[in-house]
Structure 1
Amino acid sequence: MMKRSHDEPHGSGTKKLRGAHQPDHDRKHSTPQQGSRNERGRQDLPRKEIDSKAVSHQLPPSSSAKADAPAYTPFTVTKNLPDLPEIYDPKLANSPFVHKSFGYDRTSTTTDLSYERLEFLGDAYLELFASRLIFHHFPALPAGAQSQVRELLVKNETLSEYARLYSFETRVKVADMEHMLRDAKDRGNKGLNKILGDVFEAYIAAIVLSDPEQGFVRAEAWLTALWAPKLIEAAASQKFSNPSLALQTPEGSDPRATYSPTGKADLQRKIQAYDAKLTYSPYKDSVELKGDQLGQNRHFIAVYLTGYGYENKLLGKGEGKNKVEAGNWAAVEAMNGECKGIVEECGKKLAEMKEKKRQEKEARELAVSSNGK
């Protein structure tokens, strides 16, 4: 803070009003470079010319080669877990797994890279790759829903899940790993998940940095293959309740494997009549999931039919993250599983009853019309 001069009167401040005692002719001829006043007396500050090109040269030089970002292209998704991309630069090979507490020179700013430094860059690449994937494959999805899907792909739980698939937890080097693991266990794996998520992001950055020409493409292809099953699962379960995320059922696939958010309503339209009803109830207690899915539940719902000569007939069972989803899965099973024949038989009877009623109604209307004549 600037201190006031001892020569200044107390309370006078450090600045004087420009032009307060300036003659009128001086203020009248002031130039824009000197500053001028508008009609209300506000001081117009002089406009400053900025040479962007010159300023850009003042930036510190890049510490590594920058990878080119190519146009988005579709990638082939492997059937099994995709191979872990190689980090070509030996100096970066171990950096994604090492915490700065593990023997790094903390005074160094460029030579020693910990996963904390790499995670900063990897996080940005991760967001970009996820955004490109969603933008190009689900173009009709609204922006808000796109953000929800992206969050599913980049959250710590997802990244730590992938890190474990490649056994990253066995390669992490932290000064007090045992204490960290105990703390993570007490916090329901959240502490360890955060570390594994950071390590995963750091690995992405190392892939790109170690291969300026193809690193971007290789990292994006790898993540696309990893993300594809999770995207398919989200789309199939209508997790975000948006038809724009819906997938087409591949020809020849098992219809029981395709989730329908209107399953219960569809089954009801098929067979429920005034003298027949469908009942949905748990066939076993819900369970709370553990590990990476801590805090989530699994519900088990079955659908039963009473009517058409059946009494509390089990048609199908389903599982889901809530009762609604589990009920829809049960309805999908009923319409496409072992009891498909019963559902179709009942649906045929219902259609015959509706047709009979329609004919009877037409006959009554015709009789009334004939009597009126």
Structure 2
Amino acid sequence: MSKRPAQDSASQESKRKRYSPPTEENVASNIRVPGPIPAMFALTPWLSSDIPSGLPSIPKILDPELEATVFRHPGLSDPLRSYERLEWLGDAYLELIASSLIYQTFTSTPTGRCSQLREILIRNKTLAQYFREYGLESKAHLPSDLKTDISRSRGSSSDKDIIKTQADMFEAYVAAAIISDPENGMANTASWLKSLWARTIKNQILNNEKNRKLGTQPSSTAQGSTKDMASSSNLSAKERLRIEIGVKGVLIRYEDMPRIGKDRDLGLPLYTVGAYLDGWGERNKLLGTGTALGKKEAAQKAAQKALENKKLLKPYVAKKAAFMEATKAAEEA
């Protein structure tokens, strides 16, 4: 049985070493790792005063090499030297910061609706729009074919590759702005995002603030302890409506109504629910309607509409008061 010459074996071994695939050891020796991840800090809820009149100033990336990585497309080089790792980290930061702000601001909003609000803030379409608003596309280093696509496009929602790339680079920018400044990067970036996002969900912030104020105002249609209970901000609109006009034998129903369309931001179907009264001489009396992305939220809005229609509720509140007085008198007799 013949054997290959020893020198051939040495030659093959040399080639294997020269073309060996990347390992954790040889990759780590060639890739510069940024400094430590900055610690989180406390965020405060959105207020109407947090909504800026213009585009807030974008935080700077203090490390030039890290900034160059933000705008380097993986199609141009080793993926480890592109924005991919920073984009992965930035994606997590964006979701965490958005979740924290929404959780603290929209305290009475169902979790499903909170997830929908977060999706508005961190989806590719929104992030790519921010990327263009700050003029960051001029810094992007892209493959020639993608450059051609961008030159023919305006970043419409149909240009999925372009939108995805711009959103990825924005996520990478967020991560780089944070980790390039271990002392203030997190605070500065979160504060910037809070202002930037406030422009995007301006109406939701204003409506939330309005509803919170309505929830803490005393109701002028209720009497005595019932008045205090119905005005409690800890109670839902459905509970407050029940306290206003409900007694045993009086039913407030919430029924689905025909859909009216889709949410213009998310493209998801909207649900409409009506609040109906059976009692106090009424049958199937419509008190109010509400529309939202979920049936539960729509029902709460329907109850809130009914509570705001004091003229409509006035006779039922009076009938309840008379009923309660008669019941009390009968018990004392």
**What is the DSSP-based 3-state SS (H/G/I as helix, E as strand, rest coil) of the residue aligned with 1:297?**
coil
1:116 is aligned to 2:75: no
Q: Which has the higher helix share?
A: 2
Partner of residue 130, structure 2: 166
Change (3 A) 1:60 1:254: farther
Q: Per-residue deviation at 1:210?
A: 4.7
Contact 2:125 2:157 in 1 (8 A): no
Aligned partner of residue 267 in structure 1, secondary structure: helix
Unpaired runs of 5+ in structure 2?
1-27, 220-231
1:308 deviates by 4.3
Residue 203 of structure 1 and its aligned partner are, at CA, apart by 1.2
Structure 1 residue aligned with 2:60? 86
Taking the aligned partners of 2:244 and 2:317, their CA distance within structure 1 comes to 5
| Match 2:266 to one of 293, 299, 308 | 293
Change (3 A) 1:202 1:330: same
Check whether the contact 1:318–1:327 (CA below 8 A) recurs between aligned residues: yes
Residues 47-69 of structure 1, C-alpha deviations (whole Å, 9 max, x = no match): xxxxxxxxxxxx74872652672
- Report the number of matched residues: 276
1:330 Cα deviation from its structure 2 partner: 0.9
Among 343, 354, 362, the residue aligned to 2:313 = 343
One-letter identity of the residue aligned with 2:38: A
Alignment pair present for 1:214 and 2:184: yes
Alignment of 1:188-203 (within 5 A): 194-203=164-173
Structure-2 separation of matches of 1:212 and 1:90:
15
Asked whether 1:360 is paired with 2:314, we answer no
Matched residues in 2 for 1:352 and 1:150: separation?
42
TM-score between the two structures when normalised by the length of structure 1: 0.52
Verify the 8 A CA contact 1:156 1:193 in the aligned structure 2: no
Q: Aligned residue for 2:212?
A: 249
What is the CA deviation profile of residues 268-305 of structure 1, one whole-angstrom value per residue up to 9, with x for unaligned ones? 34324577554544565242346x624x2211233344
Are residues 343 and 191 of structure 1, via their aligned partners in 2, closer, same or farther at CA, if it must alter by over 3 Å?
Answer: farther
Label 1:83 to 1:281 Cα distance change in 2 as closer, same or farther (>3 A): farther
Q: What is the Cα-based RMSD across aligned positions, in Å?
A: 5.4
Q: Aligned to 2:73, what secondary structure does the other structure show?
A: coil
CA distance in 1, matches of 2:118, 2:146: 27
Which residue of the partner structure matches residue 302 of structure 1?
274
Partner of 1:330: 302
For residue 287 of structure 2, give the secondary structure of its aligned residue in structure 1. strand
Aligned positions of 1:95-110 closer than 5 A: 95-101=69-75, 104=76, 106=77
Which structure has more relative contact order (CA 8 Å, sep 6+)? It is: 2
Q: For the Cα contact (< 8 Å) 2:146–2:162, is it kept in 1?
A: no
2:281 aligned with 1:318: no
Which residue matches 1:63?
32
Residues 1:61 and 1:76: Cα distance change in structure 2 (over 3 Å) = farther
Q: Letter of the 1:317 partner, please give it.
A: T
Which runs of 5 or more structure 1 residues have no equivalent in the other structure? Answer: 1-58, 139-144, 238-247, 364-373
AA matched with 1:327: A
Q: Shift in Å at residue 331 of structure 1? A: 0.4
Return 315-324 or 115-124, whichever deviates more: 115-124
- Give me the whole-angstrom Cα distance separating, in 1, the residues matched to 2:194 and 2:185: 14
The corresponding residue for 2:25 is none
Between structure 1 and structure 2, the one with the greater Rg is: 1
Q: 1:250 to 1:273 in 2, by over 3 A?
A: closer
User: Structure 2 counterpart of 1:249, which letter?
Assistant: R
Q: Quote how far apart the aligned CAs of 1:325 are.
A: 1.6
